[in-house]
Structure 1
Amino acid sequence: MTIPLPPVTGPDTAWWTTSRRRIFLDSHTPDWTDPHQRGNIGDPHVTLLSGVQPEQDLETLATAGVDSVVLFAKCQYGNSYYPTAVGRTHGALNGRDLFGEQIQAAHRRGIRVIAYFSNMWDTAAAGANPDWRLVPSPARGSTGRWPALCLLSPYRSHALRHVAEIAERYPIDGLWSDILTAGPCVCERCESLFRDRFGRAMPTDRRDPNWADLIHFTQDIIKGYLAEQRDVLRSIRPQCALIPNFYATTFVDAVTGLSTSHLELADIGSSEGYTDWHGLGFPSFAARYISAGVNGRPSEVLVSRFVHTWDFTMRSEAQLRFEAFTVAAHGVTVSVDDQPYATGAIESEVYRRLTTVFQTITERAPWLEQATPERYVALYASQRARELESILGDDERPPLGEQSAQFPPSEPRTAASDLVAAVTGTYRSLVEAHFPVAIMDERAEALSNLKDFAVLVLPDVLSLSHSEITAIDAFVRAGGGLVVTGEAGTRDARGQQQEMHPTLTELLGVRFGPALDDPYPYIRLEGEWAEKLGSWPIPHYGRIPQLIDVAPDVTTLATRIRSVLTTDESTYWHNNQPAPGVTTLEPIIVERSVGAGKVIVSAARLGNNKARQGHGTYRELITSLVQRVAPNPPTMEVVGAFPNTEVVVARQQDRLIVHLVTGHPVVALDVAGAAQPAAIEEVARLSEFTLRVAGALSAARVVAGAEHNLPIDDGRVTLTNLTDWETLVFRLNS
């Protein structure tokens, strides 16, 4: 049963941390009386917004256990849902203050209200003021169906006045600031300012050496606008949270403008984590990414009720549980994206399904609050690496073969940067191996935490500043482990090739030479490593750079096997992947000790191949490398495999909190070109799961909001009859 919350009586900031169960009422509704909003009249029997019932709707949310809600003040069409003197009120409201009614209904039920505001998408304003419109860069192309606005146009002050009006009229608890990534803009205003700042015209091609200037120019415009927006809010409502939509994980092109530096302005970090975008592992990745982005401050991840974002399908209760529990276990607020019908009515079945989800999250709150994530492996995903992906990346090459039998090309990408695959493939490997893993970037506050980790992994980190190299070198010499996959430090901040920094060369014990002319080589493991993982040839998509100037104390762990031929239009082996040929002595994975630490350099792109091939071999390779360089094993170790169970570890004073989140996808049979998102239809069950926690004095299992003691033998605990989210508590020997 849901316990009612006390009414909201005034502003405070405590809810930023304690709110864990959020609904995002995604209410973009066209106004058919505005010719700029397509001018299309829909079904005359459907009266827009006629079914919105704030008291009934917010009661439904409160009964489901919602503690905060995103309500629309202004949508992407540019329609306001209250009588505005600045913007355009939705015509269907006939002067009704819908937003005001919703806020009152929410606050009476103890639900905090975050006002939604669309920034650079405003169809009405763009139609009425064509000179305000953003002109997209030809290198990026159209902004899609939504006409975008330039933040250097008069629209900027118009939008800020609009935000001020909302904050002055309504006791909002937060502002959800959306659509900040429609750029870059190449209108005359932007061109002129760019020329004044850099003394040259804007670049129009990603291969232009000045493309980095366009990235930073766009970042600066957004940051300046966000800073002004924050100042407007602070001047009117000092305790109102600014929540910019930072959906820019490594999947998003850096030239759109979002940068980790913008998160300095965020009171609550926010990222979208929809599984139909990037798979069932995306909520986990998004939660880690946004937590790192705000350096542990409050954050949220959006998941959805939809099968395809944003339609009117409904996820199974089992999948709603899996996605929400994944986010919650990371200590991040769950924000479930729901979309009302055209009448504005909400679907009550969504909230029936969410009730048990939110009840479980409420029960687990004592083991989520004041918990600090366990630090063991730091996965490096820097802002600069994202920028180099924009400069040096390329589209995925299409599959080849017959209509009914498609094969990946031998070299899926020919570009120098392949960041997304490198980071996500490595991340999944570490998660499936049950290592505690955190995302890290190059900001000073992040690097200052490096000492708390056992291992640092650099996947496709093509560029490193002197301060980064210095921090990494000190980390290793003090006893940390370093794993490098793909090239590191071979490019400058503009993507141009450069000599590796002497400190980095000395640390790694090798330099990266030219890529070997073999788009589909094989990896041969050597010595005891081969005995452990296998001696068969391991296929590798893409060319591997040479390792040259190898220091005498370096040990070779793996060498290259050449393929028998290079596939082209007229020469091929069965499909696109040629068989292994001659075994060479060319090192591609090497190891050495440096100071008190260890370093492994893999010229082979291991995470990239895990992301594309998907099978366990590359996970085992990455896992083994981390184990080899780690100065000590993790505090918690899983006995067995269980790759579909994510283990999230945190500390509460002298207690170790271990969350186990499991999901079992339905077996799919894909149609070529129409693959569907993975689905979970049944709540996962495991018959048995064993783990060991070093130094544990006692163990307990959380059931129905209470701790129940478990038998423990030398830190080893076996659970039986597990469900999809288990929480364990280990008291440690201090």
Structure 2
Amino acid sequence: MMRLWWQDPFRMFQTNLREIDAGLDVESVLDYLEEFGADTWLLSVGGILSNYPTDLEFQTRNPYLAERPSGDLVGDAVKAAARRGIRVMGRMDFSKIDHRRAEAHPDWCFVGPSGARQVYNGLTSVCPSGDYYQVKLFEVLDEVLDRYPLDGFFCNWMSFNEVDYSRVYHGVCHCVACQERYDGALPDDRDAPGYADWLRFSKDVLADLTGRIRDHLAARRPEAPLVLGDQADIVFHEANNAVGRRLWHHRTSESVSAAKTFRPTVPVLTNSVGFVDMPYRMASEDPHHFAQYLVQAIARGANPSTYIMGTPATTPYTCLEVAGQLTRFHRDHVDVYRELVPAAQTLLVRPVHSRAEFEGLYLSLLQRHVPFDVLPEERLGEADLSRYRTVVLPDVGPVDLGAYAGRVVATGTSSVLPIRQLARYETEAEVRSLHLEGGVPVFGTFDVFEAPPDAEVAVRALSRAPYGPPEKCHGHVPLDHPGMVKQGNVVLFPWTIGRAYREVGLSVHRDLFADQVGGAVETDLPEQVEIVVGRSAAGYVVHLLNRSGDADQRFAPPVRIGPARLRVPDGVREVRALVAQERLPVDDGWVQVPEIELFDVLVCV
């Protein structure tokens, strides 16, 4: 079978064009991309505006194409890029249509529960259930493919638009197509009964549409992949910031890991946003923040991409310097990133709910140098768990691990042992003053149960006692309620130990949990260095990410760390440190890691 281009590492640069950018200097942009280290250009092609002379009645030609002698930006870009060996992918956006088409085709449009359309800056949102997506989208793809040998397609904002650009919530679509497709009465909003069923319906509609687009492209131009959700040829993740959103410093790494763990050989594209937030598209992201997008992406095996508004000449963001440095690093070490797949022996399941529990366990493993992969809970039945020594279940409730026979470390409500629950403490008042032996405080929820008779019980609970005034602070009596139970290869913490660490930050919680997981890399590196392991065509690959710059709602400049010792896997004869550009002697299974600034990569053979 022919190897397709996107199955090898690549580096993308996206120019998200405004209509006034249609006259851009193609050669100048390509000069910039080559210097930047990119080999793929994501160019705005069609949908809301067509940057080529479309003949389809329901499409709108960009009026600024008149500034080009050819009248065709896409044609000019494809020809010029081909001369340089740069691929061009088409960005399509079918989420909105202009007023004239909305009036002519009301059946294409989003209709809110009140009957109102969703109009933003003169454009009307359309619904994926309607014929604009279901039929007309394919006519646009055919017109583009008939004219240009594009190297792939990305469909922006292909979703049921409950929320607009201003984060205004409009509810569930009630258009004619949705009413015909949906079995039953449509809910009005996320608080209505039946909303969970509608979510499944909407995901099914989008999954079906994604599959049809993918099949259509494969039939027309097999070498042109679809970049979209986790069922597309290339999985898309947008690394971005947002005003008012709590910063989770590990969002990019988590998202890439979730995709690569589910389907290790399917490429992931991390499109890193160069601006701060959609309302502030002319404001550059902080360079230290932006660097984390790309470093976390490549460490987990994703292809790096940088996304700007306009062109490099019109929006020279300050973060582009470090973006170019990291993109060129990926280019210069393509042999290391070819076929890079996860190699951790610990799996951390990402629950549908219990986000704080997940994040606390995530931080615990990272800081204790336990390499791990992330898998969404909903993918448990589809992934191969057999390669993992340990599976961690963060408060997931009832769960089926199939034939998995390895070690399980579960927390909270995760049902993995045959126990009889006696009570559950789940409010702040119910757990306040609750301790375990050794002075371990309990936060979140705590389940009281009867352990199996052959189970090993540890860190039992102490009865609650007054906590004020000091004269009355006594009376914590030992109880039979276990804070940890071991039976066979299963360890259960019947309380939210991860949430406790996330919200309070006591190392006693982190260490109590991580000691039961095991599998830490032996090193004297501090907890601020994240260790990510993988295997590629080049060998065993260890990314060392300096997280000392993780700060409140930002990334500060990291503090240099090291040198330090690190044990490598048995049988490793040679280690290269790619950033330091050094060969590291292996001495009785140990190497001396050079000083780490932002990151380093060890290749072990």
TM-score after normalising by structure 1: 0.71
Matched with 1:71 is 43
Alpha-carbon distance in 2 for matches of 1:243, 1:442: 23
Residue of 80, 88, 92 corresponding to 2:50: 80
Contact 2:563 2:595 in 1 (8 A): yes
The one of 178, 200, 203 aligned to 1:190: 178
Distance (whole Å) between structure 2 residues aligned to residue 450 and residue 26 of structure 1: 39
1:361 equivalent in structure 2: 330
Q: Which amino acid aligns with 1:719?
A: V
1: CA distance, partners of 2:523 / 2:501: 21
**What secondary structure does 1:303 align onto?**
strand
**Correspondence 1:167 to 2:145:** yes
Shift of 1:353: 4.0
The answer on 1:218 being equivalent to 2:127 is no
Q: What is aligned with 1:516?
A: 425
Structure 1 residue matching 2:237: 3-state secondary structure? strand
Distance 1:64 1:79 in 2: 27
Partner of 1:556: 457
Equivalent position of 2:4 in the other structure:
14
How many residue pairs get matched? 576
Distance 1:349 1:614 in 2: 34
The code of the aligned residue for 1:70 comes to L
Tell me the residue number matched to 1:374: 343
1:475 counterpart = 2:404:
yes
Task: Write the deviation string for residues 451-502 of structure 1: whole angstroms up to 9, x where unpaired.
Answer: 11110111122343xxx34x1xx423xxx1111112135xxxxxxxxxxxxx
Residue identity in the other structure for 1:718: Q
Tell whether the 8 Å contact from 1:269 to 1:291 is kept in structure 2 after alignment: no
Any idea what the Cα deviations from partners look like across 1:99-124, whole Å, max 9, x if unmatched? 22222232322222221112334455
The answer to whether structure 1 residue 24 and structure 2 residue 14 are counterparts is: yes
Alpha-carbon offset, residue 555 of structure 1: 2.5
**Is 1:590 aligned to 2:484, yes or no?**
yes
Q: Tell me if the contact between 2:304 and 2:327 (Cα under 8 Å) persists in the aligned partners.
A: no
Q: 1:88 to 1:653 in 2, by over 3 A?
A: closer
Equivalent-residue separation in structure 1 for 2:484 and 2:189 (angstroms): 37
How far, CA to CA, are the matches of 2:497 and 2:225 in structure 1? 40
Give CA deviations for 1:231-272 in whole Å, capped at 9, x if unaligned. Answer: 32223212210111x3xxxxxxxxxxxxxxxx33x1111112
Cross-structure match for 1:111: 86
Corresponding position: 1:722 with 2:599 = no
How many percent identity over aligned positions? 22
Q: Report the 3-state secondary structure (helix = DSSP H, G, I; strand = E; otherwise coil) of the residue aligned with 2:82.
A: helix
- Contact persistence 1:376–1:452 (CA under 8 A): yes
Q: CA contact under 8 A between 1:305 and 1:314: conserved in structure 2? A: yes
Contact map agreement 1:164 1:232 (CA 8 A) in 2: no
Q: Which sits farther off after the overlay, 145-154 or 110-119?
A: 145-154
TM-superposed CA distance for 1:561, in Å, is 4.9
1: CA distance, partners of 2:576 / 2:450:
54
Match of 2:164 in 1: none
- 2:223 partner SS: coil
Match of 2:548 among 660, 664, 668: 664
Conservation of the 8 A alpha-carbon contact between 1:379 and 1:437: yes
- 1:564-579 correspondence runs (5 A): none
Deviations along 1:277-335, whole A, 9 cap, x unmatched? 54321111121122234343111112222234552222454444333122112221011
Of 142, 145, 149, the match for 2:126: 149
1:180 match: secondary structure: coil
Other structure's SS at 1:271 match? strand
Counterpart in the other structure of 1:452:
387
Superposed CA deviations along residues 609-652 of structure 1, whole A, max 9, x for unmatched, are 3333355443323312312xxxxx45x43334x33322111234
2:565 to 675, 681, 690: 690
1:544 to 432, 446, 469: 446
**Distance 1:150-1:699 versus aligned 2 partners, 3 A rule:** same
| Cα gap change, 1:446 to 1:667, in 2 (>3 Å) | closer
| 1:654-700 deviation per Cα after TM superposition (whole angstroms, max 9, x unaligned) | 942211121432766xxxxxxxx4033x3642132221124244342
Matched residue SS, 1:650: strand
Contact kept, 8 Å, 1:322 with 1:662, in 2: the verdict is: no
Relative to structure 1, the CA distance from residue 551 to residue 70 in structure 2 (aligned partners, 3 Å threshold; closer, same or farther) is same
Q: Say yes or no: does 1:267 pair with 2:152.
A: no
Q: 1:57 pairs with 29, 43, 67, which one?
A: 29
Task: Give the 5 Å matches for 1:424-439.
Answer: 424-439=359-374
Within 5 A, what are the aligned runs for 1:151-550?
151-156=128-133, 157-182=135-160, 184-195=172-183, 200-204=184-188, 210-244=194-228, 246=229, 263-264=230-231, 266-276=232-242, 278-309=247-278, 311-340=281-310, 345-347=314-316, 351-381=320-350, 386=352, 418-441=353-376, 449-464=384-399, 468-469=400-401, 471=402, 474-476=403-405, 480-489=406-415, 504=416, 508-516=417-425, 518-519=427-428, 520-521=431-432, 524-526=435-437, 535-540=438-443, 542-546=444-448, 548-550=449-451
Q: CA deviation at 1:52?
A: 1.6
Q: State the Cα distance separating 1:419 from its structure 2 match.
A: 2.9
Measured after TM superposition, the shift of residue 705 of structure 1 is 9.3
Tell me, yes or no, if the aligned pair for 2:580 and 2:594 is still in contact at 8 Å. no
Q: Does 1:623 align with 2:514?
A: yes
- Counterpart in the other structure of 1:603: 494
CA distance in 1, matches of 2:442, 2:573: 45
- Give the secondary-structure state (helix, strand or coil) at the position aligned to 1:88: coil
SS in 2 for 1:431: helix
Do the aligned partners of 1:509 and 1:592 also contact (CA within 8 Å) in 2?
A: no
Alpha carbons of 1:88 and 1:692: their partners in 2 closer, same or farther (altered >3 Å)?
Answer: same
User: One-letter code of the match for 1:25?
Assistant: T
Would you say the 8 A contact 2:425–2:446 is kept in 1?
A: yes
Partner of residue 169, structure 2: none
SS in structure 2 of the partner of residue 661 of structure 1 = strand
Secondary structure of the 2:125 match is coil
Distance 2:33 2:259 in 1: 26
User: 1:259 is matched with which residue?
Assistant: none
- Give structure 2 stretches of 5+ with no counterpart: 162-171
- Partner Cα separation in structure 1 for residue 454 and residue 177 of structure 2: 57
After superposition, the Cα gap between the structure-2 partners of 1:22 and 1:142, relative to the gap in structure 1 and judged at 3 Å, is same
Partner AA of 1:270 in structure 2: F
**Alpha-carbon shift at residue 147 of structure 1 (Å):** 4.1
| Aligned amino acid, residue 441 of structure 2 | I
8 Å contact kept, 1:553–1:592 = no
How far apart are residue 60 of structure 1 and its match?
0.8
CA distance in 2, matches of 1:323, 1:719: 24
Note closer, same or farther for the CA distance 1:725–1:512 as it changes in structure 2 (3 Å cut). Answer: same
Q: For 1:656, give the aligned amino acid.
A: Y
Give 1:65 shift. 0.9
Check whether the contact 1:376–1:454 (CA below 8 A) recurs between aligned residues.
yes
2:436–2:442 contact (8 Å) kept in structure 1: no
Q: Residue 74 of structure 1 aligns to which amino acid in structure 2?
A: G
Change (3 A) 1:345 1:440: same
In structure 2, do the counterparts of structure 1 residues 273 and 619 end up closer, same or farther at CA, with 3 Å as the change threshold? farther
